[in-house]
Structure 1
Amino acid sequence: MHDICPEIAYPDTREKYISEPMPVEPALMTYDETKVAIIIPLYNDEANIARALESAVAQKAPEGIRFDVIVVDDGSRDSGPEIAEDYARRFDNVTFLRMDQNGGPAAARNRALKETDAGWFTPFDSDDIMLPERVANLLDKARQGDLDIVADNLLISSTKAPETVIRHLWPGKPEGDVSLTTELFVSRSYAAETERSELGFLKPLIRRRAVKSGAEPYQPDLRFGEDFELYARLLADGAKAVLTDPEGYLFVVRDGSASHRQGADDHRKLAMMGRAFLKRDGLAPAEREAFAGFTRYCEQEWAAWTAIEAIRAKRPAGLVRALTISGPASWHVAGNLMKAFGGKLSGKGRQAGKSA
């Protein structure tokens, strides 16, 4: 089910995202590249957090390397925080933090990174699983290749059988290391041929010094697409990155996840993000084309969701708004409305025929 907001505020289109190039800030801390932070946002996930923490603390750190696990509770109303606190008491490399109020996964990850001088970090969702060698293997590849980002092709499973692999995130990925360019990443992060195969779902290992936005790498007001924004920005800023074969991250797909709760305002933010990327100087033609395609897709989703929410809330003004977002988006919505209206008419016609 989708969460529907009956009233949506549309801010000034001059809204800015840090998708635009950021100046390098003066160093506020010296990052320790012998430390890796495994960042886990937690929100109402008492059923899975212990499993995630077990796989996080089981990560085998190479000699001379420390893995720190940082759990940030984002306003949970279940017993998940108590479970995480228990792990923090029992393991000296586990830290538990609480947000003052619910801010979303991006804000929670930023909170974690403010508390550590780790030179590397990797996001880890509270309902997922990692095999013990996974982070060490990513770090080894990053250090050997002097890479800023190393991502592995995720293993997709389900809540019914979390440790049973259904497929790979990118089913058709070429074998071996693939250069993760801006063009490849962006073009494979929307309108994918297989649901949940977008590269924006990746959970890479990231070098802190590659992040030019300082202590808060993530755009905090994004609750949907925050990973895509960060990875795309780092790549556009020149980060050296590869996508390798699976190293053991099980991405457990479940009903009710954030990707199934998006609405018009989420897609509006993504469209605005895409427009901000297109304003960047120095994009190669192929990169610009990829961002343009991403932006058109997000505008169409923004318009479609605006129309859906307007119809459900019986707000004609919202439907008008859906037709003014962009030319292609307007045609997209108009086509959907014509199909829906045509379907209703044909259904009534069939009913009339049966009555006759």
Structure 2
Amino acid sequence: MYIAKKTRSLVRRIRTRFSSDYRPAKNSLLVSVIVPVFNTEPYLPAFLESLVSQDLPSDRFEVIVVNDGSTDDSGNILDRFAEKYSNITVIHQENSGWAGKPRNVGLSMAKGHFVFFADGDDLVSPESLRRMCEFALKNQLDVVLPKTIGIGGRKQTSGIYAKTQLSVSPVTALKTMTPQKLVLRSLIEKNRLQFAEEPVRLEDGMFMAACYLLAKRIGIAADYDYYSLRARADGSNISFRPIDPQSYTDSISKIATIIAELGSDPTLIRDMTVMLWRRKGLKIYEPARFRRYAVAKQDQWISAHSLFLKAFLPVQATEELHDLHRRKTELIRAQQKAELLELCDTEEEFALPIQVNTCVDNGKAVELEGLIVASKVSAVRIVVRPRRDQATTFVDLLCPVLDGRFSANFDLSSQEGKIMDFLVGACLEDVEGQLRRLEVSPDSMLKGTGRREPYVTANGYLSVRPR
């Protein structure tokens, strides 16, 4: 039974949560690495070398590689490694057209206490398997989200991996739906979880959403670059292929259905569905991306997403979205394309540079002046927060923009001894852009005369620190 098929029937069968046994037998197999391979010849040797170079003893992990009918030399490369290394098993099968079936074949053969899903064009860092297993066992985790980085030009969102966390909610975990995770094998087997085998987008998201909801505890390991996701030079990664609006939205709907059926309470269901929409729905309407679509495809996206919103996200559920995202969502729901495109224009204006050119801290007050390129922005919102405490706000000012300039004056005397970060958001009438770090112009003047001083961070942003 696959997550992508008969979803409601499946989730009824896996509602019982697993009570984990976190103590594998002494010297037993700790982890099974499951790898689907199709035509990865240029990258496969380096990937396999990254596995055989692990500092976890070879008798504590196995590698199960399923060659999904490769037509290049991948099969021969795999056989050579299997002959040399006893913990590598290779299965050759006819091409199935998607990664789901090879992963399921690997799962059916796995014997490790945990399983880890990898792809044959990526890299696994030398200490990864040992570190992940130790982290999971020490903290009794059913799922570990290891820090991943991008290589070959692949962009990788790093926000979720800012720090190690011993327990996160399924809402936080849903920020990453790629399958490169360590999962307790018993959780998968007891709940009969499998990947969708037909060519369907987001099949890994369906699988991981179920794992997150069934897990008793999820952790994030951010202390090491565990895994490198590669962008292939020829752009042949499945995730880079063109997507069909209706089928892609169907996949999002299947994930939403899994969330609705497995979620333990209405608030969790709402928050996970909103997160799903933010990650996989709203990204389509980033101005530059949405304008690249032909008019007919734009209409298809709006139509498909409108139905999704009506089915899974009532208006009141989207109220916690950022102002710009909430407005955009409601225009999509109402299929108001002209207004949506106007909002995209506004969003592009909001993304133009906003920079500080003068900042003086005299010990009692901070005075700053700045410039903004956008011609339509009527005001900027200045927010000051302590470093690594984004939940606390000490300054929140709305500053008018006149002839492309703005200024602000505020007191930070009560915050001595703390590093303070500055954020800014553009505003146009009652529409507010997202907050981002406030940049410093190259020819800026920063001066501190009291116990604090403004400075430019390594990434070019404005902060204030103790002298």
* Structure 2: gaps (5+ residues): 17-22, 311-329, 346-467
Distance 1:335 1:214, change over 3 A: same
Distance 1:271 1:309, change over 3 A: farther
Contact 1:153/1:202 (CA < 8 Å) preserved in 2?
A: no
CA displacement 1:291-341 (0-9 Å, x = unmatched): 244247656679999x968937xxx9x6896486355545467248866xx
Distance 1:179 1:45, change over 3 A: same
Q: State the 1:37 CA deviation.
A: 0.9
Q: What is aligned with 1:133?
A: 127
* CA distance in structure 2 between the partners assigned to 1:55 and 1:323 by the alignment: 41
1:209 equivalent in alignment to 2:212: no
What is the TM-score when the length of structure 1 is the normalising length? 0.71
Q: What is aligned with 2:215?
A: 238
Name the SS for the 2:7 alignment partner: coil
Q: What is aligned with 1:185?
A: 173
* CA distance in structure 2 between the partners assigned to 1:104 and 1:83 by the alignment: 21
Q: State the 1:284 CA deviation.
A: 5.0
* CA distance in structure 2 between the partners assigned to 1:338 and 1:143 by the alignment: 50
Contact 1:267/1:302 (CA < 8 Å) preserved in 2?
A: no
Q: Give aligned pairs, total.
A: 303
Contact 1:323/1:333 (CA < 8 Å) preserved in 2?
A: no
CA displacement 1:67-91 (0-9 Å, x = unmatched): 1111111222211112112211221
Name the SS for the 1:201 alignment partner: coil
Name the SS for the 1:200 alignment partner: coil
Write the mapping of 1:284-303 to structure 2, written as runs, cut at 5 A: 285-295=267-277, 298=280
* Structure 1: gaps (5+ residues): 1-12, 26-30, 160-165, 190-198, 343-356
1:270 to 212, 231, 252: 252
Counterpart of 1:182 in structure 2: which amino acid?
Answer: P
Contact 2:213/2:263 (CA < 8 Å) preserved in 1?
A: no
Q: What is aligned with 2:365?
A: none
Distance 1:62 1:76, change over 3 A: closer
* CA distance in structure 1 between the partners assigned to 2:129 and 2:5 by the alignment: 40
CA displacement 1:153-182 (0-9 Å, x = unmatched): 1122226xxxxxx98642464433352311
Name the SS for the 1:77 alignment partner: coil
* CA distance in structure 2 between the partners assigned to 1:140 and 1:260 by the alignment: 34
What percent identity do the matched residue pairs reach?
17
1:311 to 296, 307, 314: 296
Contact 1:180/1:242 (CA < 8 Å) preserved in 2?
A: yes
Name the SS for the 1:97 alignment partner: strand
Q: State the 1:250 CA deviation.
A: 1.6
What's the Cα RMSD here?
3.9
Q: State the 1:51 CA deviation.
A: 0.9
Distance 1:276 1:129, change over 3 A: closer
* CA distance in structure 2 between the partners assigned to 1:213 and 1:261 by the alignment: 34
Write the mapping of 1:119-268 to structure 2, written as runs, cut at 5 A: 119-158=113-152, 169-171=157-159, 173-186=161-174, 189=175, 199-201=176-178, 203-211=180-188, 216-221=193-198, 223-245=200-222, 246-254=224-232, 255-263=235-243, 264=245, 265-268=247-250
Q: State the 1:15 CA deviation.
A: 5.3
Q: What is aligned with 1:334?
A: 337
Higher relative contact order (CA 8 A, sep 6+): 1
Q: State the 1:235 CA deviation.
A: 1.8
1:53 to 36, 48, 51: 48
Distance 1:294 1:158, change over 3 A: same
Distance 1:59 1:291, change over 3 A: same
Higher strand share: 2
Contact 1:24/1:212 (CA < 8 Å) preserved in 2?
A: no
Distance 1:122 1:337, change over 3 A: same
* CA distance in structure 2 between the partners assigned to 1:50 and 1:14 by the alignment: 35
Contact 1:57/1:69 (CA < 8 Å) preserved in 2?
A: no
Distance 1:80 1:229, change over 3 A: same
Counterpart of 2:178 in structure 1: which amino acid?
Answer: F
CA displacement 1:272-305 (0-9 Å, x = unmatched): 3213422445235144222244247656679999
* CA distance in structure 2 between the partners assigned to 1:55 and 1:336 by the alignment: 50
1:86 equivalent in alignment to 2:64: no
* CA distance in structure 1 between the partners assigned to 2:72 and 2:24 by the alignment: 35
Counterpart of 1:45 in structure 2: which amino acid?
Answer: T
Distance 1:152 1:322, change over 3 A: closer
Contact 1:113/1:216 (CA < 8 Å) preserved in 2?
A: no
Q: State the 1:62 CA deviation.
A: 4.5
Distance 1:79 1:169, change over 3 A: same
Counterpart of 2:211 in structure 1: which amino acid?
Answer: L
* CA distance in structure 1 between the partners assigned to 2:239 and 2:74 by the alignment: 21
